[in-house]
Structure formats: C-alpha cells, structure tokens
Amino acid sequence: MRQPFATLTEAAEALRTGKISSRELVEAALADAEVLDPLLGVYVNRFPEEALTAAKAADARPARERGPLHGLPLALKDNFAAAEGPVTAQSPAHDPSWWRGRDAPAVARLRAAGAVVLGKTTLTEYAMGRPDPRHAFPLPRNPWDPRCWTGGSSTGNGAGIATGLFLGALGTDTSGSVRLPAALCGTTGLKTTFGLVDKDGVLPLSPTQDVVGPMGVAAADCALLLDVLVPPEHPGAPRPARPPLGDGSGEGLRGLRVGVPFALLEDEAVSVECRAAFEAALETLRNAGAVVVDFALPEFETLLAESTVTMLAEAFAEHGERLGARWADHGRVFRRLAAAGALVPAHLYLRAQHSRRRTRAALLERLRGPGGADLIATPTWPAAARPYTRESAPGDELNLTAVWNPAGFPALALPMGADPAGLPLSLQLVGEPHAERLLLAAGDAYQRRTSWHLRRAAPDPAQRPDAVPDPDARRGLLADRDPGADLGADPGADPAGEVPGETGAAVEAALADAGLALDPGEPAAVAALARVLARSGRLLTAPAR
C-alpha cells in the first residue's frame, strides 16, 4: 500500500512539519482505492478531481491559516450531505435532490478545519439491515477475509480504515453502526453522546437514537476529529478528562473504576477467543492503573427492548411513505425491517420512551453510587466477523452495542485481539453522557500498551470471493418464508396481543392497513420480526425491578 502513515494523527503531524504534501497523500489514497475498491466495496462515489483540487489549495495555504485537519484526506458515510455529489443512502429509492450541492454542518466543520473529502462510502440501505445483491451498489467486504461481513451500517468506513485507504472518516451510529464496523474490521470508532454532534444534513433512521461519530485507526484519531466536530467552547462539549496521558505512564487511569458485567458475559454467544482477548484487555487496563470491578447490568434486556421498539417504529415513521410508494425499489432486508415498524402501536412506542428515561436515570444512579464505576467495559461484539453465508438474524446474538443508544451514552470500540484466523476482536468502553474525553483518554492509554490497532489488512486484490448470498437464501428472521406458514406459539409473545405476529396472514392484513403491499413470502418474514417486537413489548410491560 502507498499510504505511508499508521494513524491520522501521525499524518497530521507530517503535514504540519512539511514532510509530505496533501496532494501526495490524496494521490496515494486514490491510487490505493483503484486497486482495492473493486474487491472491498468501500466507496459508493469517489471524488478524485475535487479532492486533488482541495489538496492543491491546502498545500498553497499559508501556515498561519492551516487548521487542525489541514490537508488530511477523509471519507464520509453516504448518508451525509456533501457538496460534491448527492446522497444515495445506498438505495435506488432515495431522492437525489435531498440536500444536493450542500454540506451537512458536520462536514462543513471538517472542511473548515482543512480536511479533504475523498468520497462517500458504502453503508447498509438507509443505515439498517444488510446489503441486497440485487442492487447495483458496491457490496462491502471485510478486508481480513472478503468472504465475511464488515459489520454495519458504516461498512465502507470500517474496511477503508483497516486497509489504509483513508485514516479517518465520519459515520453514524443508531444501534452500533460506528462500533460494529470498527469491531469487525479492527479499527477504532466512537459513538458520541446523543445530541452532541449536529445531525442536520444526515439522513435520519431513528432520530431519537441516531448520532454522528468519528472513526479512525486509534483513539487519538477519534479525539482529533471530535475536537473539530465539537470544539471545547461548544456549550455541549464533553467534560475534560483526567490529566493528559503524556508519555503513557498511566497516571490518567490511576484509580479509574472500570465496571464489567461479568455475569452477562458468561453467555454462550461470547466466543472462547473473544473471552480470552477481553480478559487480556482488562489486565492491560489494570496495568495502566485502572481498578476493574464487577458491575451488573440488570437493565440489559430492557435497554435492548427499548432500542428495538424505538428504532423500528421511528424507521417506519421516517421511511414508511416512500416505502409504500416504491416497495420494490427498496432492498428486501431494509424493507422488511422498516415494515415491522408499522406494527408498533403508539402506546408501545410511548411506553418505550418512558422506559428509556427511567432506565437511564437508574443506570446513572448506580454508576455514581456506592459500588459504581467511571466506565463500563465489555467486548464490542461477542465474536469475530462471520461469513456472509452464516449471517445471524435479529435476536440471535448477544447485542452489546445497541443497549447504549436508547440511554444516549457514549461508547468507544477499539481493537483488542484476533481470532485464530486473524479476524479482529474488539473492546468496548462506555461512559456517562459527555464523558467522551475520559473514554478517549482510557482508549489512548490502552493503545499505548498494545498494538492491535496498528495491524493493517492487506487483502489480495486478485481474490474473487463467492457472491454475497441472496437474503432469501440466508438463515434467519429476514429470510423469505412460506406466506401462510404458522410461526407457532411464542413463549415470549406479548400477552395483550399488541403486535400481530402469529402468522404471515395476520401481518399482511396489518401492513395493508399501513399502506404496504408486500411481495409473496414477505409477510411471514416480517411476522418473525413481529415476534421480536412482541418479546420487547412484554419486557417493557414487566414491573420495574
């Protein structure tokens, strides 16, 4: 690869001292993309002419006028508006006139700080679900094994940073969409506190859970981008962390209490390799001065239920009208997930919002009280990336990312190891709202003592992996089924029958009332999702403990 620097902060320092020009960095990034992008599906659109023009202007700028991101080539997930070209949202159904020719405020901040936009990266359609190979968009592949899923929905960002096609990017996170690609591709990603970064000009999925988040090679890269997105004088800026870490002596973590929900992590979904890597990561934090304590998460299932109900209901509210008008133009996975949101009754959605407020308050009280913690640590995901042929379905895996979106807490994903095949494993650190600087300080202390984040994937561009399987050929709740199939008794079904989900026929009738006409086989696939909603509804009606 031609990219000569390991991290974004290293490249920034080289630009500042004149060791390299912005044009050289951009030319290297564009050349690398020509080689690897056909295999990995990193970009939806590249902007080579615009990027080279911006790099030339950056190189000509006097030193006194240069910002903190001077000349750095970055990428944007393709749900951000940018002046160079329309947002696609990786959907044939999207209106290309939306915010066309304008920058989202977050993008404008990056440019004002000197960044060069290389292009727009792949994502799952409207930032939810999985890719549909029927569409003409690039299909994202994991650079450590192109047969595997990158994690979503900021798919191209994860693959691009892992291979050095760029060293930093902007993503969004609704239930893990910054952290999952960071985890499965072996990079670093920050889910910010809800409301911290301006979301204007960013396509919504679940407006009360969506956040903008920086992605990079290292925690220091994310910190560099965050300082531009949310400058210190901003009224909502994150609280200062402990004293700077300086030479990595560990003073910044001395006495820091890191809570671990050990009982939760006994779940069989946590792989042996992930468990071992996590234990090693905790030992590294101890060596950096942290105190690791047991911190139970009895709120876990409730938080997951809040996330599920909120995301699907809001996704349908945002996209339902277009979905009804152009059903066939949407990918099968996205449209089935969004259609399930039509099955959420208003009172269940409102109950989820009330529950979110109670759960957040209770969790903050426990964190701040006796036996509490400054940060929470878990794996980001319980295992390494799976092949596309072994994809899981909603409810099949231990989802350790989605729980923090309904609470609005910030969370940092950073590499902590690899499985025997070399696929990355990831550590997640979670803090109270506006504790980003503490999270990044802890992440930086960890990364000063480890080198997992410095591994760079080097896939063979001549590989020809098998085609991404059709959604209806995959295992799981999103697969096509016999439309008349009875899904059987569900021990977790909502006893009040609030979510129609016993048969495909029941769902078909409910969705018809919502203005949706599904293809044959799809009502039963949505009915399976309705059962997940029903279980969530039951959890949200259970008396508070």
| Phi, psi dihedrals of residue 258, rounded to the nearest 5° | -110, 110
Instruction: Measure the CA–CA gap between 508 and 213, rounded to whole angstroms.
Output: 37
Q: Is residue 153 among the annotated active site residues? A: yes
Left (φ > 0), alpha (ψ -120 to 50) or beta: where does 200 sit? beta
177 catalytic per annotation: yes
Q: Which residues are within 8 A (CB) of 542 and not within 5 positions of it... i.e. 6 or more apart?
A: none
Confidence of residue 479 (pLDDT cuts 50, 70, 90): low
Interior/surface letters 321-356, b for 16+ CB within 10 angstroms, e for the rest: ebbeeebeebbbbbbbbbbbbbbbbeebbebbeebb
Once rounded to an integer, what is the mean pLDDT over residues 505-525?
Answer: 90
CB atoms within 10 A of CB 18: 9
Least confident of 139-148, 208-217, 468-477: 468-477
Helix or strand run (H / E) with residue 255: none
List CB contacts of 419: < 8 A, sequence separation 6 or more: 271, 273, 274, 383, 384, 425
221: which 2 tokens? 């890269």
For the full predicted model, state whether its pTM sits above 0.85: yes
Half-sphere exposure of 112 (CA within 13 A, CB side): 12
Q: What pLDDT, on the 0 to 100 scale, is given for residue 174?
A: 98
The per-residue pLDDT for range 319-370, each reduced to its tens digit, is 999 999 999 999 999 999 999 999 999 999 999 999 999 999 999 999 999 9
pLDDT of residue 505: 84
487 versus 88: which is more confidently predicted? Answer: 88
One-character DSSP codes across 321-342: HHHHHSGGGS-HHHHHHHHHGG
Cα separation, 397 vs 69, in Å, equals: 38
pLDDT per residue as tens digits for the range 430-461: 999 999 999 999 999 999 999 999 999 999 99
What is the per-residue pLDDT for 364?
98
Residue 452, classed as helix, strand or coil, is: helix
Phi then psi for residue 27, to 5 deg, are -60, -40
Alpha helices in 41-127 (DSSP H): 48-60, 105-112
Respond yes or no: is residue 21 known to be catalytic: no
534, amino acid identity: A
**What ranges make up the beta strands (E) of 341-459?**
375-379, 411-418, 424-431
Q: Is the pLDDT of residue 131 over 60?
A: yes
Question: How confident is the model over 261-320, as pLDDT tens digits?
Answer: 999 999 999 999 999 999 999 999 999 999 999 999 999 999 999 999 999 999 999 999
Catalytic: which of 91, 154, 177, 206?
177
3-state SS, residue 532: helix
Which of the following is catalytic: 22, 91, 120, 153? 153
pLDDT tens, position by position, 19-39: 999 999 999 999 999 999 999
The tens digit of pLDDT for each residue in 407-435 reads 999 999 999 999 999 999 999 999 999 99
State how beta strands 411-418 and 188-191 pair. Answer: antiparallel
* Rounded Cα gap, residues 412 and 422, in angstroms: 22
Q: Is the dihedral of CA 428, 434, 438, 443 positive or negative?
A: positive
Q: pLDDT above 90 covers what percent of the chain? A: 83
- The per-residue pLDDT for 484 is 33
Structure tokens at 360: 């957040």
The total number of residues written for the chain in this structure: 545
Note the pLDDT of residue 492: 43
**Which tokens in the block code for residue 369?**
């009280």
Mean pLDDT of 87-114: 97
Task: List the catalytic residue out of 77, 120, 191, 199.
Answer: 77
* 544 or 67, higher pLDDT: 67
Indicate the Cα dihedral angle 199, 202, 204, 208, nearest 10°.
-10
Q: Are 177 and 204 in contact (CB under 8 A)?
A: no
Tell me how far apart the alpha carbons of residues 150 and 77 are, in angstroms, rounded to a whole number.
14
Residue 526 · residue 129 · CB < 8 Å: no
